[in-house]
Amino acid sequence: MGHPWIPNSVESVRREMLEVIGVGSVDDLYSDIPESLRLKPEEWDKLPIGFGRILSEPEIARHMEELFSKIESYRSPAPFMGGGVWPHHVPEAVKYVVSRGEFLTAYTPYQAEISQGLMQALFEYQSLVAELLEMEVVNGSMYDWSSALGEALLMAIRVNGRRKFLVPETMNPRHRRVAETYTWPHDGRLVSVKVDRRTGLLDLNDLESKVDGETAAVYIEYPAYTGVIEENAALIGDIAHRKGAIYIMGVEPISMAILKPPGSLGADIAVGEGQPLGLGLNYGGPCLGILAVKWDGELVKQMPGRIIGLTSTVDGVERAFAMILQTREQHIRRAKATSNITTNEALMAAAAAVYLSLLGRNGLVELAKHIWYKSHYAAKRLSSIEGIEAPLLEGEFIMDFTLRLPLEAERFRSFLKSRKIMAGIPLGGLAWFTSRDLLLTVTEVHSRNDIDRLVEVTGEAVRGV
């Protein structure tokens, strides 16, 4: 029998095709590979790849079940952890749409006429995010928040020729590492701006003293890695602009439903993580890098990645969608392209479009408020435990918040794990945080019972010291 995934592996077909080609065996088709490099089929077949033979579906299923049995997924309660990807409920309708083969098994829509539906879905993703951020131009996606940030910093270098970037000292340390990696070849330099230890807000005096004619961009997170909502977001933009620097805001999209959008706060570029919009956690990937800019030709010209636009058919009769502004991209501009990105996170962008459409204007606001309430409830209850400071920072927050424990954060985490709760990201090593500081996350997936249980077990952990 032929292989189920290789229709022409049937011997008679193979022979017929070889005859048309005019060769005796497939070996002949590889005759141009230098002898010293060529592997004999017997040699290759002995390599340690797979399990030494072709598996049937029941066999692979058994194997996968065995591997998955060595995974403990925390679902009730879900992990009380964020830090760049957050636990959220993924609506079944989202999963359904993205598992449709017409989307899932399509390539990048190079042939527009036969790919209108896919392109419309991607255009809708761009359009829905544009509404959320109140920014006019959104690309079809980047790999994740951090790489979107890296690319945004490179955009800034290309726009103003400067190389210094001001970032909050408490910024997501993984995002910072990615930003450093992306800007390193271009002599980019990330410089920390102080963050107030009491409020978690950016120290505006320190910012003023550091922003100068060398500053390519000022970057803030909104909400911050610590969960704190930067109240001075508009002022920070003014400070950046006064020195000719570009203002980049990094956002978590669900909270945008209740927070003033970057477009109204003076942001030139917004980046962010679309993972909360119906993607699931997936141990950190795939994610969905959001990248948006305001209506400014200079910025748009420097944008990385694919953009889908609305146009019409040549006869002008019907609406149509197309990949636009492609002269920025690698397949046209090669070495002069704004980025090398081509494959992006298209399917995840489609998922986000479905998610935002399902929740809609009121649903998303309700969800954001719901999360605000639950995270405040958790912080409040935790703060009633003797020895715990929660939230550690006084600035208003949503979803994520910091707390200081009377014991080492790592020990605390182990204790909770022994009680089947996965909670918190230790903050030690970041800015002025100590090894007793923890970043905790509460979303709609955590019921009141889950939170009460977290509080109860936290109490036990603390009393254990």
Ligand X SMILES: Cc1ncc(COP(=O)(O)O)c(C=O)c1O
Q: Which residues bind ligand X (CB under 6 A)?
A: 342-343
157, 249, 259, 291: residue in contact with other proteins (rule CB under 8 A): 259
CA neighbor of 154 nearest in space, from 304, 267, 297: 304
Of 105 and 343, CB closest to ligand X: 343
Chain centroid to CA 226: 17
Could you tell me the smallest distance in angstroms from the CB atom of residue 288 to ligand X? Answer: 16
77, 147, 276, 290: residue in contact with other proteins (rule CB under 8 A): 147
Q: Which region, judged by CB under 8 A, interacts with other proteins, from 17-25, 162-170, 206-214, 237-245?
A: 17-25
Of 242 and 331, CB closest to ligand X: 331
Could you say which residues in the range 25-84 bind other proteins, by CB under 8 A? 26, 28-34, 36-39, 41, 44-55, 57, 60-61, 63-64, 66-75, 78-79, 81, 83-84
Q: Which does 175 bind (CB under 5 to 8 A by kind): ligand X, other proteins, none?
A: other proteins
Cis status of the peptide bond prior to 223, with omega within 30 of 0: yes
Of 186 and 242, CB closest to other proteins: 186
Q: Which region, judged by CB under 8 A, interacts with other proteins, from 3-11, 162-170, 208-216, 456-464?
A: 3-11
Concatenate the DSSP letters of all residues of 393-448 into one string.
Answer: S-S-BSSEEEEE-SS-HHHHHHHHHHTT--B-EE-TTSTT--TTEEEEE--TTS-H
167, 218, 248, 281: residue in contact with other proteins (rule CB under 8 A): 281
Q: Is 346 a residue that touches other proteins (CB under 8 A)?
A: yes
Distance (Å, rounded) from C-alpha 427 to C-alpha 145? 20
The secondary structure element, H or E, covering residue 150 is helix 145-160
Q: To 5 degrees, how large is the angle CA 352–CA 356–CA 362?
A: 160
268 neighbors 296 (Cβ within 8 angstroms) = yes
Q: Is 435 a residue that touches other proteins (CB under 8 A)?
A: no
Could you tell me the smallest distance in angstroms from the CB atom of residue 186 to ligand X? Answer: 20
Of 2 and 285, CB closest to ligand X: 285
Could you tell me the smallest distance in angstroms from the CB atom of residue 29 to other proteins? Answer: 5
Residue 405 in tokens: 């424990």
Q: Which region, judged by CB under 8 A, interacts with other proteins, from 129-137, 159-167, 202-210, 237-245?
A: 129-137
Residue 145 in tokens: 């928040």
Q: Is 93 a residue that touches other proteins (CB under 8 A)?
A: yes
Query: Is 114 buried (19+), middle (13-18) or exposed (0-12) by CB count in 10 A?
Result: exposed
Query: Is 286 buried (19+), middle (13-18) or exposed (0-12) by CB count in 10 A?
Result: middle
Number of residues binding to other proteins, judged by CB under 8 A: 215
Concatenate the DSSP letters of all residues of 79-118 into one string.
Answer: PB--SSS------HHHHHHHT-HHHHT-----SGGG-HHH
Of 307 and 462, CB closest to other proteins: 307
Name the residue with the smallest CB distance to ligand X.
343
Distance (Å, rounded) from C-alpha 199 to C-alpha 141? 33
Q: Is 190 a residue that touches other proteins (CB under 8 A)?
A: no
Q: Which does 428 bind (CB under 5 to 8 A by kind): ligand X, other proteins, none?
A: none
Of 38 and 331, CB closest to ligand X: 331
Neighbouring residues of 65: CB distance < 8 A, sequence distance ≥ 6: none
Of 213 and 250, CB closest to other proteins: 250
